[in-house]
């Protein structure tokens, strides 16, 4: 009897040991879970060992967000620990369209790609759409219920017309291929204020006794540039300044032309009771002549449209540009301000537009056009990639993305993350320290969220560059237009594809840039009108007439 009892006890112990072994194996991700391959009908956990995911950041110069030594980066190590994903990163210094075309043509695609998606009808968006339609991008619908934070990214903070016509164009047949980024959380406060404008060196304004707020018309801007040219001002190397300029590839010279802007959300305008395409507006002629005047009189950088990223940054951080047009570039300029605080740039105006209104950042309710992430249809690690994105966009992951590792980079006080004093000091001393910690990279994976809206910082918590940015943002109002863009009404035009094919090689921006440098205004205006004629021959007037018909009787359409 005793032996029988003993056998039963031994048998029970063996069964329990076997069960524990199975449970341990499951916890460690053995079998199908070890490689991240999904078990049918279930969401997999992270693998026992980090899975290496190839990641392409398809933005010209975007590698500047990468830590210098990704293999020895605490934040990336922590990401691997929490999600089971180790990122193998690649960036580009060439055209985004070029890279995407090459990637799809070669059939060699990383597991995960981040790229611009301003529209599905041209540029990078058209290339991405073609890749999706041809089956090179993974449709992620079957995963969305498993990863609710990814699902939120695909629905929140997106303008309704962009959602319908660009994020889910008819060619996608209802499938979801793209994961939006940098979209707001649905509130006005969450919209990123980019503070675009024209910025002038403070010491030059002071020397000329100019109040930056007084420069709000084209004549006042022109007169200021003339005074700068004649003022003998120098950069930090003792060389003459350039009165006005831009950063790489002319970005963003259009800020010098905002006087002719309006609160527009499409390429169409309503002038004198008639709808026209914007290139036929009288404003385009005035803008052309104004820019020519600046260039001809030596008031604008002749290299502006050929500046590389390096050239543009060098001109910026040496104070060589007396006035530049772009975002305020506060992070890059901190180095200059440490040695030459008197050179701190001030935002001019704000400018007044042609209606006498303050030039604003015009937004639809929800964003139209944004960076997107997408997965290769051939990836063997779809669940791993989506698990990583889902975690980063969780409550815990968002704190990590912006603030780093708790008790290493930040602490939580009253529910609000704050950098540790020594970390804050380190990041303030050199902004590249924050980059190398991995904290410029992580927000690249975030969407449907606003750090500023979630954790509004007290003035005492702001770094010097953040204080400046907030000051500039206060001068840049955001105007919300809660309407459908007139451009979308043309998507159903029967001859639209024919029109697009006829105009595919017509480059308005390139034509303008050539016209800026020809000998006479007459020749420049002829180039503009010749371009307009090509658009007329391609059928733009009929196209616009169709849109005008669609607009009739509707009050929800914006131009």
Per-residue pLDDT tens digits for 343-370: 999 999 999 998 999 999 998 888 889 9
3-class state of residue 68 by DSSP: coil
Q: Do the beta carbons of residue 386 and residue 142 sit within 8 Å?
A: no
Per-residue pLDDT tens digits for 386-441: 999 999 999 999 999 999 999 999 999 888 899 999 999 999 899 899 999 999 99
Which CATH number do you get for residue 287? 3.40.190.10
- Its domain, for residue 282, covers 197-363+466-481
Residue position matching structure tokens 């040496």: 318
Pull the structure tokens for residue 451: 């750090």
For 526, what's the count of Cα atoms within 13 Å in the CB-facing half-sphere? Answer: 6
**Residue 22 domain-assigned (yes or no):** yes
Residue 436 and residue 421 share a domain: yes
Nearest to 418 by CA among 388, 449, 385, 460: 460
pLDDT recorded at residue 267: 92
Residue 221 and residue 99 share a domain: no
Residue 56 and residue 23 share a domain: no
Neighbours of 471 (CB within 10 A): 14
**Residue 17 domain-assigned (yes or no):** yes
**Residue 46 domain-assigned (yes or no):** no
Residue 342 and residue 421 share a domain: no
**Residue 456 domain-assigned (yes or no):** no
Cis peptide before 408 (omega within 30 of 0): no
Can you tell me the distance from the alpha carbon of 432 to that of 132, in angstroms, rounded to the nearest whole number?
Answer: 36
User: Confidence class of residue 556 from pLDDT cuts 50, 70 and 90?
Assistant: confident
Per-residue pLDDT tens digits for 169-183: 999 999 999 999 999
Mean pLDDT of the chain: 89
Residue 213 and residue 172 share a domain: no
Nearest to 222 by CA among 159, 275, 295, 172: 295
Per-residue pLDDT tens digits for 499-533: 989 998 999 999 999 999 999 999 999 999 999 99
Can you tell me the distance from the alpha carbon of 132 to that of 138, in angstroms, rounded to the nearest whole number?
Answer: 7
Residue position matching structure tokens 């990814």: 150
Share above pLDDT 90 across residues of the chain, in percent, rounded to a whole number: 74
**Residue 78 domain-assigned (yes or no):** yes
Nearest to 387 by CA among 83, 4, 133: 83
**Residue 457 domain-assigned (yes or no):** no
Residue 395 and residue 288 share a domain: no
N- to C-terminal Cα separation, the chain: 93
Residue 352 and residue 373 share a domain: no
Residue 505 and residue 404 share a domain: no
Give the burial class of 139: count Cβ atoms within 10 A of its Cβ; 0-12 exposed, 13-18 middle, 19 or more buried: middle
Residue 349 and residue 225 share a domain: yes
Per-residue pLDDT tens digits for 87-123: 999 999 999 999 999 999 999 999 999 999 999 988 9
Residue 274 and residue 181 share a domain: no
The H or E element that residue 199 is part of is strand 197-201
**Residue 184 domain-assigned (yes or no):** yes
**Residue 460 domain-assigned (yes or no):** no
Measured CA angle at 192 (ends 187, 197), to 5 deg: 135
Residue 328 and residue 203 share a domain: yes
Task: Please say if the pLDDT value at position 2 is more than 90.
Answer: no
User: Confidence class of residue 271 from pLDDT cuts 50, 70 and 90?
Assistant: confident
Beta-sheet strands, E only, within 396-540: 410-413, 416-419, 478-481, 484-485
Residue 138 and residue 93 share a domain: yes
Q: What's the number of domains the chain is made of?
A: 4
């Amino acid at each position: 009897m005793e032996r029988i009892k003993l056998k039963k006890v031994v048998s029970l112990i063996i069964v329990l040991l076997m069960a524990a072994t199975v449970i341990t194996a499951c916890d460690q991700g053995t079998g199908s879970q070890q490689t991240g391959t999904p078990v049918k009908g279930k969401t997999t956990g992270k693998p026992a060992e980090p899975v290496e995911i190839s990641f392409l950041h398809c933005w010209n110069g975007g590698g500047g967000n990468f830590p210098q030594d990704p293999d020895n980066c605490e934040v990336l190590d922590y990401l691997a620990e929490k999600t089971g994903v180790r990122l193998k990163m690649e960036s580009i210094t060439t055209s985004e369209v070029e890279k995407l075309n090459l990637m799809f043509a070669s059939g060699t695609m990383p597991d995960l790609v981040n790229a611009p998606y301003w529209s599905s009808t041209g540029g990078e968006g058209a290339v991405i759409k073609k890749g999706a339609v041809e089956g090179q991008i993974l449709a992620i619908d079957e995963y969305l219920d498993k990863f609710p934070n990814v699902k939120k990214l695909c629905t929140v903070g997106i303008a309704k017309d962009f959602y319908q016509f660009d994020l889910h164009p008819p060619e996608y047949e209802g499938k979801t291929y793209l994961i939006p980024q940098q979209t707001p959380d649905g509130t006005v406060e969450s919209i990123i204020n980019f503070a675009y404008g024209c910025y002038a060196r403070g010491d030059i304004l002071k020397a000329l006794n100019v109040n930056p707020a007084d420069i709000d018309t084209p004549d006042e801007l022109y007169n200021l540039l003339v005074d700068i040219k004649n003022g003998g001002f120098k950069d930090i190397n003792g060389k003459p300044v350039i009165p006005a300029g831009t950063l790489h590839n002319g970005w963003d010279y259009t800020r010098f032309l905002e006087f002719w802007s309006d609160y527009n959300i499409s390429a169409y305008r309503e002038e004198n009771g008639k709808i026209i395409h914007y290139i036929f507006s009288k404003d385009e002629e005035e803008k052309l002549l104004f820019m020519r005047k600046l260039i001809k009189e030596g008031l604008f950088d002749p290299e502006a449209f050929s500046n590389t990223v390096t050239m543009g940054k060098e001109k910026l951080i040496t104070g060589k540009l007396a006035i530049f047009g772009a975002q305020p570039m506060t992070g890059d300029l901190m180095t200059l301000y440490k040695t030459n605080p008197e050179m701190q740039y001030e935002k001019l105006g704000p400018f007044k537009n042609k209606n006498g209104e303050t030039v604003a950042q015009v937004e639809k309710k929800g964003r139209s056009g944004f960076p997107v992430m997408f997965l290769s249809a051939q990836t063997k690690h779809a669940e791993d990639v989506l698990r990583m994105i889902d975690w980063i966009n969780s409550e815990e992951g968002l704190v990590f993305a912006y603030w780093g590792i708790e008790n290493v980079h930040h602490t939580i006080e009253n529910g609000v993350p704050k950098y540790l004093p020594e970390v804050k000091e380190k990041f303030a001393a050199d902004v590249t320290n924050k980059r190398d910690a991995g904290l410029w990279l992580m927000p690249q994976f975030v969407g449907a969220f606003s750090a500023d809206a979630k954790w509004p910082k007290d003035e005492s918590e702001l770094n010097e560059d953040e204080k400046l940015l907030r000051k500039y943002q206060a001068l840049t109002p955001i105007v919300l237009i809660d309407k459908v863009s007139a451009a979308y009404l043309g998507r159903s035009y029967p001859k639209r594809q024919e029109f697009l094919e006829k105009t595919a090689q017509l480059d308005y921006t390139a034509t303008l840039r050539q016209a800026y440098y020809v000998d006479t205004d007459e020749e420049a205006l002829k180039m503009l009108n010749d371009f307009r004629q090509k658009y007329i021959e391609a059928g733009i007037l009929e196209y616009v007439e169709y849109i005008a018909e669609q607009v009739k009787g509707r009050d929800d359409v914006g131009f």
